[in-house]
């Protein structure tokens, strides 16, 4: 949802081919989280929205399937995010991600 990547991409480097395995460590790390954001978005995204979507993704990827939210719960959490307008260009991004490496 954040990356714009395919779930499996054999054209990527070995550690980045499986989206879940690659992204999981970034989801709970606010400093590294923005490295997940699709670079094609530039700074045209809500900072709070990215944080909330990452939190939702983290819950959806919980190893215990019974602990994962239902799709109904996910939709209920995502719906209000459409109205957020705290764009990244108006908010300072964590310093460690300002010049982050972009892999294509």
Q: For 13-49, how does the pLDDT look when each residue is reduced to its tens digit (9 = 90+)?
A: 999 999 999 999 999 898 999 999 999 999 999 999 9
103 belongs to a structural domain: no
Q: State how many domains the chain has.
A: 1
Looking at residue 87, the DSSP 8-state letter turns out to be B
Kindly state the tokens that stand for 75: 């939709």
- Residue 64: CA count within 13 A, CB half-sphere: 2
Residue 104 resides in a domain: no
Q: Is residue 60 part of a domain?
A: yes
Give how far Cα 89 sits from Cα of 3, 14, 92, 94, Å.
Answer: 18, 32, 7, 12
Q: How many helices and strands in the chain, by DSSP H and E?
A: 3, 0
53 belongs to a structural domain? yes
pTM of the model: 0.76
Q: How far is CA 34 from the centre of its chain?
A: 7
- The string of pLDDT tens digits covering residues 44-93 is 999 999 999 999 999 999 999 999 999 999 999 999 999 888 887 655 55
- Domain region containing 61: 14-89
Predicted confidence at residue 59, as pLDDT, reads: 95
């Amino acid at each position: 949802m954040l990356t714009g990547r395919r779930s499996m991409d054999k054209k990527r480097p070995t550690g980045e081919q499986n989206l879940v395995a690659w992204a999981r460590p970034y989801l709970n790390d606010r400093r590294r989280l923005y490295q997940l954001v699709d670079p094609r978005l530039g700074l045209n995204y809500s900072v709070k929205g990215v944080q909330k979507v990452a939190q939702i993704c983290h819950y959806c990827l919980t190893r215990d399937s019974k602990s994962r939210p239902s799709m109904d719960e996910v939709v209920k959490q995502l719906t209000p995010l459409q109205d957020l307008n705290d764009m990244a260009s108006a908010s300072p991004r964590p310093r460690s991600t300002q010049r982050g490496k972009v892999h294509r």
